[in-house]
Amino acid sequence: MPKDNGIGASPKRREDVRFLSGTGNYTDDIQVNGQAYVHFLRSDIAHANINGINLDAASAMPGVIKIFTGADFEGVGGIPCGWQVTDRHGEPMQEPAHPVLAQGKVRYVGDQIAAVVAETLEQARDAAEAIEVDLEELPAVVDMKAALADGATKVHDDLTSNLCYDWGFVEENKPAVDAAFEAAAHVTTLELRNNRLVANPMEPRVAIGDFNRATGESTLYTTSQNPHVIRLLMGAFVLGIPEHKLRVVAPDVGGGFGTKIFHYAEEAFCTFAAKALNRAVKWTSTRSEAFISDAHGRDHVTKIELALDADNNFTALRTDTYANMGAYLSTFAPSVPTWLHGTLMAGNYKTPLIYVNVKAVFTNTVPVDAYRGAGRPEATFQLERVVDKAARELGVDPIALRRQNFITEFPYATPVAVEYDTGDYHGTMDALEKMADLSGFEARRKASEAKGKLRGFGVNCYIEACGIAPSNLVGQLGARAGLYESATVRVNATGGLVVMTGSHSHGQGHETSFPQVIAEMIGIDESMVEIVHGDTANTPMGMGTYGSRSLAVGGSAMVRATEKIIAKAKKIAAHLMEAAEADIELKDGAFSVAGTDKSVAWGDVTLAAYVPHNYPLEDIEPGLEETAFYDPANFTYPSGAYACEVEVDPDTGKVTIEAFNAADDFGNIVNPMIVDGQVHGGIGQGIGQALLENAAYDENGQLLSASYMDYAMPRASDVPFYGVDHSSQTPCTHNPLGVKGCGEAGAIGSPPAVINAVVDALRSGGHDIHHIDMPVSPSRVWQAMNG
């Protein structure tokens, strides 16, 4: 019988009750007494000198409190970058200043020129229209390769060029990799683009700055995945507010997908202005604003080459990638195309030699940073596409070619600096083959052909590194932060527990899954456990949620804290039962003495801790509250095999997804329903990237797809019912739960399966096509078919 409590059960998500009944408390729901509103005047030109700003007319408009420009931020820090990459030559990356409001120049459509604070939002907007800005348009830098050409216009005049860094990984391997290509029996080459995406969380970003004159404390309410990180970055680097005078609250957050990790100028502005004006200042992004101010994702242009020997063993891999940074460095931007991308290029394969080159480039576009998967989808896409192409060129079965090259022994040290602890790639592929009904494919293809459609089957594997990450390792790699997680477990006198976690839930379901772990450990009902997160005032310093790290790292911290609780509770129980501590057992919410029928209930022990009348006060303190910080020993390495079946309408080029199956190995699973949901959502986003989504700029740096009229989001009708299998489980060897993280897998694993299937379909129709860039929109497919 399936469990109905604890690890392995699938209770419905308790937080959904408030989300679905409209009683959530999102940042925009917060009204601070006397709050004023800010509207940002944003540049509609991609690159220009600001020759003058005349505020006279605007400042006199009704309701205007104050209009801020870059001049008001002289002497204030800039938006910091949280990761420094060192280039091939040992030099640090080029790091431009990133002012809160533009100073002297605007560098992308959306860059903030001025901020109008007024009594009402409409008054702020009215006044913004009356600001006279003298912009002298400069040539826009949009194309990455053109940006690196000699004599290209510079996005930042004080940098030597538009090159942020030229990264080689592993640089020492390069000669050996090149030699392996010389010696190869076969080389497969593929050039592709990983399309730029806009994350589009359902809730746009919001920031409210508040200042308490009595205490001198600033508060920022913000739509963030990691309030402590924002407190540290904004307090220490931008505004100079010590952490004990700064509180950051990220209440219910309506989706993040990475784009709410970063510290944004609007947050710093609202906090700064609240103090300057002694008024709370609120900003709510419109959807149009989100398109040009939320950090975008992906945007890589890559050439990948795979070398094989005469027996089809992979002998070497070489990649050459241009990664768009946009106009400024967003918080974690430099890490995405490097450490979150290069380290994954081995994939599931024992390719012995790998060299990755990445040139990060500044352009006059919105900054680009982590988006669900962050670097790993880019790595997986190119690798799994080139393996597929190699299989076709060699005339071998794409699954067999993959299986032949699978890593089978663990732990496995890749040539790209990471060590996979566990995995079973044949296991997930076996599960996938079963689900995908390979033997029935030819019949399904015939049926499609009878309707005039082309049918294709695409498969791919993925590996990802998540549960980020060991602090000492990421420190060596350039991170300017630690990546541990924290939890305080507070047991109340009557036995209920509150967990204050540094992880942040913005759709992941922590309020449901975290209690399952504690319920399992103590043997109590989940309803006795409450999760508190999202407020620096009442949670321990934590690093927040991204990189599929919450259960693997935050959950582990909670386990460690709970272990301390149990250890102390056993001491109390031993005292109450006059037994030796070593003989105490905890089971089903009761402590017993081994080999006897003596027992005390969980609630008796917790009550004793707070009403310590009969209590070993000479040995232990009263109370039952423990904190733990957990720093993982390694990344976790979920893996899987995905398959997609498509139909292509040869008359119109329209692709429809007929089936999608996913076999993942996430190690141990706490809540199977939540894990399924995470995979479903991730695949939906991956299908969105593969078929629909495209943040496209014209040559002047205007975003062509700046609204839902032109930016195509996936809808329910675009995706099939998914087949999902998690039966293949190789638990993580280094965290106490044996869990691996499941939040990004779907988005990482699905785009190559879709494109492999589309190519397969087109080739079955006699079209000699090896690749179509994402999104494979109807027009692109038709274009490819009609040369």
Partner 1 sequence: MYNFDFEKPSTIADAVSALSAEDAQALGGGQTLLPTMKQRLASPSKLVSLKGIAEMQGICTGDDGALCIGGATTHADVAAGAGAYPGLAALAGGIGDPAVRARGTIGGSLANNDPSACYPAGALASGATFVTNAREIAADDYFQGMFTTALDEGEILTEVRFPVPEASNYQKFEQPASRFALVGVFVAKYADGVRVAVTGASEEGVFRWTEAEAALSGNFSANAIADMTPGEDGMISDLHGTAAYRAHLVGVLTRRAVTAAG
Q: Which helix (H) or strand (E) holds 753?
A: helix 745-764
Is 668 among the residues that bind partner 1 (CB under 8 A)? no
Is 452 among the residues that bind partner 1 (CB under 8 A)? no
Is 288 among the residues that bind partner 1 (CB under 8 A)? yes
Using DSSP, state whether 142 is helix, strand or coil.
coil
Binding test (CB under 8 A) with partner 1, winner from 31, 494, 652, 727: 652
Q: Quick one: which segment of 137-145, 268-276, 673-681, 690-698 binds partner 1 (CB under 8 A)?
A: 690-698
Please identify, using beta-carbon distances, which residue of 125 and 303 lies nearer to partner 1: 125
Binding test (CB under 8 A) with partner 1, winner from 218, 414, 694, 730: 694
Using DSSP, state whether 173 is helix, strand or coil.
helix
Is residue 746 within 8 Å of residue 685, measured between CB atoms?
A: yes
Residues 504-563 contacting partner 1, CB under 8 A: none
Give the strand pairing for 300-308 and 186-194.
antiparallel
Binding test (CB under 8 A) with partner 1, winner from 91, 122, 157, 585: 122
Q: Quick one: which segment of 233-241, 541-549, 647-655, 763-771 binds partner 1 (CB under 8 A)?
A: 647-655
Please identify, using beta-carbon distances, which residue of 113 and 732 lies nearer to partner 1: 113
Is residue 558 within 8 Å of residue 487, measured between CB atoms?
A: yes
Give the up-direction half-sphere exposure of residue 453: CA atoms within 13 A in the CB hemisphere: 18
CA distances from 769 to 37, 197, 341, 773 (A): 54, 25, 27, 11
Q: Quick one: which segment of 78-86, 539-547, 688-696, 742-750 binds partner 1 (CB under 8 A)?
A: 688-696
Please identify, using beta-carbon distances, which residue of 288 and 764 lies nearer to partner 1: 288
Is 709 among the residues that bind partner 1 (CB under 8 A)? yes
Is 567 among the residues that bind partner 1 (CB under 8 A)? no
Please identify, using beta-carbon distances, which residue of 629 and 782 lies nearer to partner 1: 782
DSSP string covering 64-121 = EEEEEEGGGGTTSPPPP-SB--B-TTSPBPP-----SS--SEE-STT-EEEEEEESSH
Q: Is 2 exposed, middle or buried (0-12, 13-18, 19+ CB in 10 A)?
A: exposed
CA 14 to chain centre: 23
Binding test (CB under 8 A) with partner 1, winner from 494, 527, 596, 783: 783
Smallest gap, in angstroms, from Cβ of residue 368 to partner 1? 19
Is 148 among the residues that bind partner 1 (CB under 8 A)? no
Is 125 among the residues that bind partner 1 (CB under 8 A)? yes
Is 57 among the residues that bind partner 1 (CB under 8 A)? no
Smallest gap, in angstroms, from Cβ of residue 692 to partner 1? 5
Please identify, using beta-carbon distances, which residue of 500 and 776 lies nearer to partner 1: 776
| Alpha carbon distance 701, 45 (integer Å) | 8
| Alpha carbon distance 317, 304 (integer Å) | 7
Tally the residues of the chain. 787
Is 779 among the residues that bind partner 1 (CB under 8 A)? yes
Is 713 among the residues that bind partner 1 (CB under 8 A)? yes
Q: Quick one: which segment of 53-61, 99-107, 445-453, 770-778 binds partner 1 (CB under 8 A)?
A: 770-778
Q: Is 186 exposed, middle or buried (0-12, 13-18, 19+ CB in 10 A)?
A: middle
Is residue 87 within 8 Å of residue 75, measured between CB atoms?
A: no
CA distances from 740 to 34, 183, 736 (A): 46, 38, 11
| Cβ neighbours of residue 415 closer than 8 Å, sequence gap 6 or more | 170, 173, 346, 351, 352, 353, 354
Would you tell me how many other CB atoms lie within 10 Å of the CB of residue 168?
A: 17
Using DSSP, state whether 229 is helix, strand or coil.
helix
Binding test (CB under 8 A) with partner 1, winner from 132, 708, 727, 766: 708
Is 712 among the residues that bind partner 1 (CB under 8 A)? yes
| Token pair in block for residue 179 | 């030699």
Is 51 among the residues that bind partner 1 (CB under 8 A)? no
Is 120 among the residues that bind partner 1 (CB under 8 A)? no
Smallest gap, in angstroms, from Cβ of residue 777 to partner 1? 6
Smallest gap, in angstroms, from Cβ of residue 179 to partner 1? 44
Please identify, using beta-carbon distances, which residue of 334 and 775 lies nearer to partner 1: 775
Please identify, using beta-carbon distances, which residue of 218 and 694 lies nearer to partner 1: 694
Residues that bind partner 1 (CB under 8 A): 122, 125, 129, 288, 651-654, 691-692, 694, 696, 704-705, 708-713, 775, 777-779, 782-783, 786
